[in-house]
A and B are shown apart, each in its own frame.
Chain A
Amino acid sequence: MEYFLELFLGGLTRGSIYALIALGYTMVYGIIQLINFAHGEIYMIGAFTALIIASVLTVAGFNQIAIILIAAMVAIIYSSAYGYTVEKIAYKPLRHAPRLSALISAIGMSLFLQNYVLLAQTSDFLPFPSLIPEFEFIKPYSHIIRSSEIVIFIVTAIVMVLLTFLIKFTKIGKAMRATAQDREMAMLTGVDVNRVISVTFIVGSGTAAIGGVLIASHIGQINFYIGFLAGLKAFIAAVLGGIGSIPGAVLGSLILGCTESFFTGYVSSDYEDVFAFLFLVTVLIFRPAGILGRSDTEKV
């Protein structure tokens, strides 16, 4: 039973990390039907920024809570700026081009950012400090769950609630929903579509940066390539949950994380990815739009 619990919690942690990245994919897709392949790289840039800031602050002698808050804040701002710029440079000029062009542009941007960080930073793995403190009350249970895992769950939950709130109850959220439904109609009714898209990229990149900081601090190492696999898995999770849907992205991520964890724990890690993809295919056969996706979005 304890083993089951450990695997379950491990799966939830993995799923929460996927979720923080998947949210960005799903939001962007929901609004402009673009798969933003550079999203994984934004996550990686967030982790790198946090590492640099945290190193500087540690030398300057700040306390741990201040370090993680400032580092996360700077990472979010920096990544958001990247997300905003990427959209302006790589996607906006292609907004009326065929969808395939924008997709290629996204893949190009992903490779560009990866290689940029490779050249500007280093190809080596870098140690990332454990920014999340080890809480005292969790000590007796540390063999089952670590405080960094608890922090990851809580942050993911908060981010999801805030995003849902943003989309459902704010003016910009309303504009986002309008843009998602029908961009031209939204424009005619006075919605500043360009601004809405920019905000979407900023928010999506910000959540990816949070993911980057949390996972890097949980795992303890980063390099320029971490965004690729994490981004790919998060994308799968977003599709599994129903791309375009916020709760769907979180649900899909948690299911994917737990599936991988249980499969590794009870069967074998050799075929972990095979099983994850098999599961995805099976779900998509029965629910082509994903678990929470709506298939009635075709506009007449």
Chain B
Amino acid sequence: MKKHLGSLFINAITFIAVTFLVGTFFYSCTAQDEPAADKTAKVLEPIRIGVAGSHSGDLASFGIPAKRAAELVVAKRNAMAGINGRKIELVVEDDVCKPEIATNTATKLVTDKVHVVLGHICSGATKAALGIYKAENIVVMSPSATNPALTQSGDYPNFFRTIASDDEQARLEVDFALNTLKLKKIAVLHDKGDYGKGLAEYAKSFLEDDPRAQLVLYEGITPGAVDYSAVVQKIKRSRAQAVIFGGYHPEASKIITQMRKRGMKTIFISDDGVKDDTFIKVAGKYAEGAYATGPQDTSSNPLTIEATQAHKERYGEDFGAFFLNSYSATLALINALEKSCSTDYDDIVNALRTEYVATPVGIIRFDERGDAIGVGFSVYQVINGVYVEVK
């Protein structure tokens, strides 16, 4: 409430400042060293947030919800006072989730002088783009890139994310298969990409470490291949009770459809690249019973309810994958920019690590590596054509 009043206050005085060109009363951020006239000029300049992700192409269903989330948050903030009186401007660039295009996207955003970046969406594309941002000291926050190495390698101190990393996800998938479903023979498949293979390798090592489990097959498939019948036959021959698949929904729906059409009842467990309604739409009745891990259900959080309503009002439909993570990431970035009263790299990073922020995915801050503290995964199952959280 105090914050809200503060924002109104800032809004009102920004108006006065702009009108009369008197600039001495920004109580939080402007009472520093520079002369008043300069300050006013600087205040007028908007803060630019780059939004990079797959806004077209076959993985657009991941990128568009993220973009919409950023737009909704920013529209709301701009209607109030922006960040300490400065308006927020979004610079949206498409990377189609392709690493080779993501580098161009990143260069474009850097040229456009963005202060922080929300994105990218896919792990491979994010990894390709991060080096470019790092060289320019730009903070990047992804709502969805879950590849563990992005934070754990320590190569990208400028990287943050509002989603838990793949090793946690793989851990959950393996624990679910062994403890909850009590399975023994498990096959692990992946799509050879940064995200899918990374996840599959963790699943593989967890299975190998566990004496109860037997890893009967470990294979990479070619994304976009005409069919996967040979791989499906191989799964059948391995007599696996379950398949853990690391990858995205187009391949997942092909594999599960071919397995079910051949009368195989092998349990299908996958990741948040598959926990998307497109998977259910495309695989139809064959998707029934499939498991997928995804960000924890936070639908009772008041901020989630607010975000959901905002989306419904603007777009007339329910939001897609990573919407809440992106909403949270945007809030976290804005919070850091506001609390640090600065657009300097070190100040923003410091604020991200120390200041807690209330978001739809929980009250979070970021650890030294850039992972959010307070975000987790749950297991979901397709029941009657919708993903339902498994308790």
Contacts and interface: CB of A to CB of B under 8 A. Distances in A.
Are A and B a genuine interacting pair, yes or no? yes
Interface of A: 3, 6-7, 10-11, 13-14, 17-18, 118, 123-127, 142-143, 146, 215, 218-221, 223, 225-226, 228-230, 233, 260-262, 264-265, 268-270, 272-273
B261 to A, nearest CB: 6
Contacts of B262: 142-143, 146
A131 to B, nearest CB: 14
| Chain B interface SS verdict (over half) | helix
A229 B262 CA distance: 25
Contacts of A220: 253-254, 257, 282-284, 286
A36 B271 CA distance: 39
A17 B229 CA distance: 13
Interface in B239-290: 249-250, 253-254, 257-258, 261-263, 278, 281-284, 286
A233 B226 contact: yes
B230 A126 contact: no
A229 B257 CA distance: 20
Contacts of B60: 123-124
B282 A123 contact: no
9 contacts: A3-B237, A6-B233, A13-B227, A14-B229, A17-B227, A127-B283, A215-B227, A220-B286, A230-B226
A11 B231 CA distance: 11
Nearest to A3: B237
A221 B280 CA distance: 12
Contacts of A261: 229-230
Contacts of B281: 127
B230 A7 contact: yes
Contact of A269 (B221, B236, B258, B278): B221
Interface in B42-57: 56-57
Contacts of A6: 233
B219 A268 contact: yes
A264 B234 contact: yes
A235 B294 CA distance: 40
A127 B279 CA distance: 10
A3 B237 CA distance: 8
A218 B233 CA distance: 16
Interface string B181-195: 000000000001000
B257 A118 contact: no
A221 B224 contact: no
Nearest to A2: B237
A223 B229 contact: no
Nearest to B253: A221
Interface string B61-91: 1000000000000000000000000000000
Nearest to B249: A125
Nearest to B60: A123
Nearest to A148: B261
B226 A126 contact: no
Contacts of B1: none
A223 B58 contact: yes
Contacts of A260: 230
Contact of B230 (A215, A226, A265, A270): A265
A125 B230 contact: no
Give the 7 A-B residue pairs with the shortest CB-CB distance, closest first.
A10-B229, A264-B230, A270-B220, A261-B230, A6-B233, A127-B282, A221-B282
A118 B230 CA distance: 30
B380 to A, nearest CB: 20
A13 B229 contact: yes
B282 A14 contact: no
B250 A221 contact: yes
Contacts of A226: 224
Nearest to A228: B224
B225 interface: yes
Contacts of B219: 268-270
B222 interface: yes
Contacts of A223: 58, 250
Contacts of A272: 222, 225
Contact of A123 (B57, B253, B254): B57
A198 B365 CA distance: 65
Which one of B229, B257, B281, B284 has the greatest number of beta carbons of chain A within 10 Å? B229
B90 to A, nearest CB: 21
A14 B58 contact: no
A125 B234 contact: no
Given A143-B262, A220-B253, A270-B219, 6 more contacts: A6-B233, A10-B227, A14-B226, A127-B284, A229-B224, A264-B234
B229 A123 contact: no
Contact of B278 (A7, A125, A262): A125
